[in-house]
């Protein structure tokens, strides 16, 4: 049983799979049968894996046992310090967790994991701490500019505050760092639409389609982008002088009409081949609406 448990745990570690309940189940088998000695250097990775899984399901007793061994084996380890912070968070003590992270960062301000946990806790405290979360993210990104996830989080914070122009600025860094990801471009386009910069949104929806075209209209990114093209084309046709904060110039009216027709065609084709609901009513409603929107 220990061999099977070790094999499954190793597989989940290599795949980055959490599987918390099963991890704890198999982890206990390893601990109770003395399997930890068989792991050698991998024992520490196992203990880290089991600690996280135990925190996920509220088995704090197991997490404490693992942390005790990790602290003894790796005193002062940045990864262990992060696990200690998570343990404090598990006790629902956010202020204490923030103080812990601040003290740890004074010792090592290059520990990205600790910094991001501090930011996550600040965000969890709600609107009264959002300005501090923004400040921390900004400082963090000055040091770790290439952290795409942090730029996305900053964009999220600004969007929650209805500061869509600032959200777009954060997402522009995401596009610089990961320009080949159509979902990031789609997110930028949808944020531009929400911000009211319809010409920019239209341009970026078309870019998504250009990037994701090999996947065809059934791709989630492409389908959402075609919806974006249809909505923005309609807005620009009905209001040709729609302002653009980015100074993006929209296509000509003739071009917009062609794009609107093409978007209708591609969306209709996509929805004809699938049912939005098991009975297909959702599909029929959408197809009827698209038919009524033809120009």
pLDDT digits (tens, 9 = 90+) for 159-186: 999 999 999 999 999 999 999 999 999 9
In DSSP notation, 163-189 reads -HHHHHHHHHHHHHHSTT-HHHHHHHH
Q: Say what the pLDDT of residue 212 is.
A: 73
Distance of CA 25 to the CA centre of its chain: 29
> Residue 250, SS3?
coil
| Pairwise CA distance, residues 40 & 265, whole Å | 60
DSSP 8-state assignment for residue 270: H
pLDDT in 10s for each residue of the chain, 295 residues:
778 888 888 899 989 888 999 999 989 988 887 767 777 888 899 999 999 999 999 999 999 999 999 999 888 888 999 999 999 999 999 999 999 999 999 988 889 999 999 999 999 988 778 889 999 999 999 999 999 999 999 999 999 999 999 999 999 999 999 999 999 999 999 999 999 999 999 999 999 999 876 555 557 889 999 999 999 999 999 998 888 999 999 999 999 999 999 999 888 887 776 654 544 556 666 666 666 655 4
Is residue 207 within 8 A of residue 253, CB to CB? The reply is: no
Q: Token digits for 243?
A: 């302002």
CA 83, 88, 89: angle at the middle one, nearest 5? 95
pLDDT tens sequence across 197-220: 999 999 999 999 998 765 555 578
On whether the pTM is more than 0.95, the answer is no
What is the Cα–Cα distance from 206 to 154, expressed in whole angstroms? 25
* 10 vs 12: CA distance, rounded Å: 5
């Amino acid at each position: 049983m220990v061999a099977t448990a070790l094999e499954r745990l190793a597989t989940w570690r290599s795949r980055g799979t959490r599987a918390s309940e099963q991890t704890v189940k198999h982890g206990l088998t390893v601990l109770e049968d003395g399997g930890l000695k068989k792991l050698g250097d991998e024992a520490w990775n196992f203990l880290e894996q089991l600690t996280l899984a135990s925190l996920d399901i509220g088995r704090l007793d197991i997490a404490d046992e693992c942390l005790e061994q990790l602290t003894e084996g790796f005193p002062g380890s940045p990864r262990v310090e992060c696990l200690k912070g998570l343990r404090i968070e598990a006790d629902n003590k956010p202020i204490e967790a923030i103080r812990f992270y601040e003290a740890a960062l004074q010792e090592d301000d290059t520990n990205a994991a600790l910094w991001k946990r501090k930011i996550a806790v600040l965000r969890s405290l709600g609107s009264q701490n959002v300005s501090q979360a923004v400040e921390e993210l900004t400082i963090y990104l000055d040091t770790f500019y290439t952290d795409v996830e942090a730029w996305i989080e900053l964009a999220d914070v600004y969007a929650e505050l209805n500061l869509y122009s600032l959200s777009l600025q954060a997402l522009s860094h995401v596009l610089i760092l990961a320009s080949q990801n159509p979902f990031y471009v789609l997110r930028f386009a949808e944020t531009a639409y929400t911000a009211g910069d319809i010409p920019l949104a239209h341009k970026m929806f078309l870019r998504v389609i250009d990037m994701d075209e090999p996947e065809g209209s059934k791709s989630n990114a492409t389908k959402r982008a075609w919806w974006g093209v249809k909505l923005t084309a309609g807005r620009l046709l009905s209001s040709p002088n729609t302002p653009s904060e980015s100074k993006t110039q929209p296509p000509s009216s003739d071009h917009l009409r062609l794009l609107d027709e093409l978007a209708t065609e591609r969306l209709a084709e996509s929805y004809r081949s699938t049912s939005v609901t098991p009975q297909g009513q959702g599909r029929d409603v959408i197809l009827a609406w698209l038919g009524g929107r033809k120009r």
